[in-house]
Amino acid sequence: MSEAVAETVAERFGELYAAAPDGVWAAPGRVNLIGEHTDYNDGFVMPFALPHTAVAAVARREDGVLRLHSADIDGPVVELAVDALVPASDKGWTAYPAGVVWALREAGHAVTGADIHLASTVPPGAGLSSSAALEVVTALALNDLFALGLEGPQLARLCRRAENAYVGAPVGIMDQTASACCEPGHALFLDTRDLSQRQIPFDLAAEGMRLLVVDTRVEHSHSEGEYGRRRAGCEKGAALLGVPALRDVPYEGLDAALDRLGDDEEVRRLVRHVVTEDERVERVVSLLEAGDTRAIGPVLAEGHASLRDDFRISCPELDLVVDTALSAGALGARMTGGGFGGSAIVLAEEADVAAVTKAVQEAFVAAGLTAPRVFEAVPSAGARRLG
Ligand code: GLA
C-alpha cells in the first residue's frame, strides 16, 4: 500500500519537475487519547499516530531555490528563495514546508534548497494534525537528504518552531512529536517538560475493542485566537500561583491552589482543567500498564466534561457525539485536539461499534447537521522513509 502511494507521488513529482525525486517520505496525522491543552503547560499527553499520512517526494537542490507543490491544492508550483523566507509572511499551505526550511536554517543547518511535492490523506481542519504531518514529512526528508543527523524529538522541536514562529500558531509540542515518534500498536506517553517518552502498548483489537474517530466536519481554527487566549490564561494562572508552569501544581494541592486564585473564575477553571487532565493522563497510563483497558473509558468521559465545562472549548456537535455514543453503550468518548470543532474519539466494544456509529449518525441527521465522517483509528507508524 505505501509502495503504491510512494510510486504515485514520485510519478507526479516527475511530471512537475521533469526529474526523479531523491526519495519519498511519509509522516502521519494523530489522535490524542488523553492529555488535552496540557502540552503548553509542561504537562503530559498521550497521542497515537493514524494510518493517514502526508507523503512527500523530494529532491535536494544546491542553488537556494525551494519549489513547492501540493496534490491537494493542485495549483501552480510555488517558487521561493531559501534565504528570503520571512516568518509570518505566508498564510497558505506553503507556510508549513517553507517554515520547516526556515527553522532548519535558523538553527544553523545548511539546507540549500529543494523541490518538494506533497500529497496528504490526513483530513484538514479535523483536529487530526494535518499541518504537523506536512511539517514533519518535510523535516524528515530534508534531514535525510542533507545528512543532518537529527532524531525524531529534535525534528519535532524544529517543526514546532516553524509553526510557532513562521506560521504564527502558538501550539505546543504534542502533534509534531506524535507524527515524528509514534510506533505502530502503541500510544506515546510524552512528558512535554523534559520530552521523555514511553511507548505504551495499545492494541485494542486484541482485546475486543475499537477506537473510532468521529470527524464532526466543523472546521476548527487556531488562528481565531481562542487557543491563544486559553494559553495566555494558563500562563496567568501559573504566574499568580508562583510556579513555572501549571504542571507544577500538584493534583493533591489543587484545592489550595484554587483558593489562592480567589474569585478569578476564568483562571480557576483553566487551572482546574490542566491539573486534573495531567492526573487523568497518569491514570490512563497506569490502567493500560495494568492491563485494565476498559477502565479508561470513564476517564475519557471525565476529560470531555472538563474540556467542555472548565476549559470551554467543546461545541454542540462534539458534545452530541460524546453524549450519543455514551448513551448508545460506548465505554468512553471525548473531543480530541485543539477543540471548537474537529473530531471526537469513541472507545467501544467491537460488538457495539455498529450500534454506536448508527446512533451518532442518526443523532446528526435528527439535529439537521452534516453527516460526520467516522473511521476506526488503529495506532500506526510515525514518520518514515518510503522509498
Ligand atoms: C493542538 C495543538 C497541540 C495541543 C492541542 C491541545 O492540537 O497543536 O499542541 O495543544 O491542540 O491538546
Percent of the chain surpassing pLDDT 70:
99
| Per-residue pLDDT at 219 | 84
Residue 30: HSE in the Cβ half-sphere, 13 Å Cα cutoff: 36
Tell me, in angstroms, the distance from the centre of ligand 1 to residue 339's CA.
Answer: 9
| Per-residue pLDDT at 1 | 53
Return the closest-CA partner of residue 270 out of 242, 232, 298, 302: 232
Residue type for 40, please? Answer: Y
CB contact burial 317-329 (16+ within 10 A = b; e otherwise): bbbbbbebbbebe
**Which 8-state DSSP code applies to residue 351?**
G
Residue 23, domain member (yes or no): yes
Residue 101 belongs to domain spanning:
3-199
Residue 144, domain member (yes or no): yes
Return the closest-CA partner of residue 270 out of 27, 43, 104, 83: 43
Q: How far apart are CA 165 and CA 156, in angstroms?
A: 14
- What are the cell numbers at 197? 517518552
Q: CA end-to-end span of the chain, whole Å?
A: 12
Of residues 192 and 222, the one with the higher pLDDT is: 192
Mutate-to-test residue for ligand 1 from 30, 40, 129, 174, highest number of ligand atoms within 8 A of CB:
174
Q: Using an 8 Å Cβ cutoff, are 159 and 100 in contact?
A: yes
| Per-residue pLDDT at 2 | 73
| Number of compact structural domains in the chain | 1
Q: Distances from the Cα of 205 to the Cαs of 181, 194, 258, in angstroms? A: 22, 32, 41
CB contact burial 118-154 (16+ within 10 A = b; e otherwise): bbbbbbebbbbbbbbbbbbbbbbbbbbbbebebebbb
Return the closest-CA partner of residue 109 out of 137, 138, 147, 161: 147
pLDDT digits (tens, 9 = 90+) for 337-363: 999 999 999 999 999 999 999 999 999
Task: State whether the beta carbon of 172 lies less than 6 angstroms from ligand 1.
Answer: yes
Give 332's strand partners.
347
Residue 189, domain member (yes or no): yes
Q: Which of 15-19, 215-219, 230-234 has the lowest mean pLDDT?
A: 215-219
- Which residue's CA lies nearest to atom 2 of ligand 1? 171
Task: State whether the beta carbon of 10 lies less than 6 angstroms from ligand 1.
Answer: no
Task: State whether the beta carbon of 349 lies less than 6 angstroms from ligand 1.
Answer: no
Residue 212: φ, ψ to 5°: -100, 145
Residue numbers annotated as active site: 175
Residue 346, domain member (yes or no): no
Task: State whether the beta carbon of 308 lies less than 6 angstroms from ligand 1.
Answer: no
pLDDT of 384 > 70? The answer is: yes
Tell me, in angstroms, the distance from the centre of ligand 1 to residue 171's CA.
Answer: 6
pLDDT of 223 > 50? The answer is: no
| pLDDT, mean of residues 274-289 | 98
| pLDDT, mean of residues 288-315 | 98
Percent of the chain surpassing pLDDT 90:
95
| Per-residue pLDDT at 91 | 86
| Per-residue pLDDT at 224 | 63
Tell me, in angstroms, the distance from the centre of ligand 1 to residue 15's CA.
Answer: 36
Tell me, in angstroms, the distance from the centre of ligand 1 to residue 175's CA.
Answer: 7
The answer to whether the predicted template modeling score (pTM) of the entire model surpasses 0.95 is yes
| CATH number of the domain that residue 50 is part of | 3.30.230.10
Residue 345: φ, ψ to 5°: -115, 150
Q: Which of 39-53, 110-124, 222-236 has the lowest mean pLDDT?
A: 222-236
Q: How far apart are CA 308 and CA 298, in angstroms?
A: 15
Residue 269, domain member (yes or no): no
Q: Pairing mode, if any, of strands 384-385 and 23-32?
A: antiparallel
Residue type for 159, please? Answer: C
Return the closest-CA partner of residue 180 out of 127, 214, 141, 147: 141
- Which residue's CA lies nearest to atom 8 of ligand 1? 171
Tell me, in angstroms, the distance from the centre of ligand 1 to residue 79's CA.
Answer: 30
pLDDT of 157 > 60? The answer is: yes
Q: Pairing mode, if any, of strands 23-32 and 197-201?
A: unpaired
Task: State whether the beta carbon of 337 lies less than 6 angstroms from ligand 1.
Answer: yes
- Which residue's CA lies nearest to atom 5 of ligand 1? 338
| Per-residue pLDDT at 220 | 73
Tell me, in angstroms, the distance from the centre of ligand 1 to residue 173's CA.
Answer: 8
Alpha helices in the chain (DSSP H): 2-17, 95-106, 130-145, 152-161, 174-181, 226-241, 254-260, 265-289, 296-309, 316-327, 353-366
Return the closest-CA partner of residue 282 out of 35, 2, 109: 35
Mutate-to-test residue for ligand 1 from 31, 34, 37, highest number of ligand atoms within 8 A of CB:
37
Tell me, in angstroms, the distance from the centre of ligand 1 to residue 18's CA.
Answer: 38
Looking at the CA of residue 171, tell me the nearest atom of ligand 1: 9
Q: Using an 8 Å Cβ cutoff, are 119 and 71 in contact?
A: yes
Q: How far apart are CA 201 and CA 185, in angstroms?
A: 6
pLDDT of 98 > 90? The answer is: yes
Q: Which residue, chain included where needed, has cell 496525522?
A: 29
Residue 284, domain member (yes or no): no
Residue 368: which pLDDT band, with cuts at 50, 70 and 90?
very high
Task: State whether the beta carbon of 352 lies less than 6 angstroms from ligand 1.
Answer: no
Task: State whether the beta carbon of 338 lies less than 6 angstroms from ligand 1.
Answer: yes
| pLDDT, mean of residues 96-100 | 98
Residue 94, domain member (yes or no): yes
Residue 172: HSE in the Cβ half-sphere, 13 Å Cα cutoff: 25
The mean pLDDT of the chain is: 96
Residue 57, domain member (yes or no): yes
| Per-residue pLDDT at 4 | 86
Task: State whether the beta carbon of 39 lies less than 6 angstroms from ligand 1.
Answer: yes
Task: State whether the beta carbon of 215 lies less than 6 angstroms from ligand 1.
Answer: no
Task: State whether the beta carbon of 342 lies less than 6 angstroms from ligand 1.
Answer: no
| pLDDT, mean of residues 22-50 | 98
| Per-residue pLDDT at 222 | 55
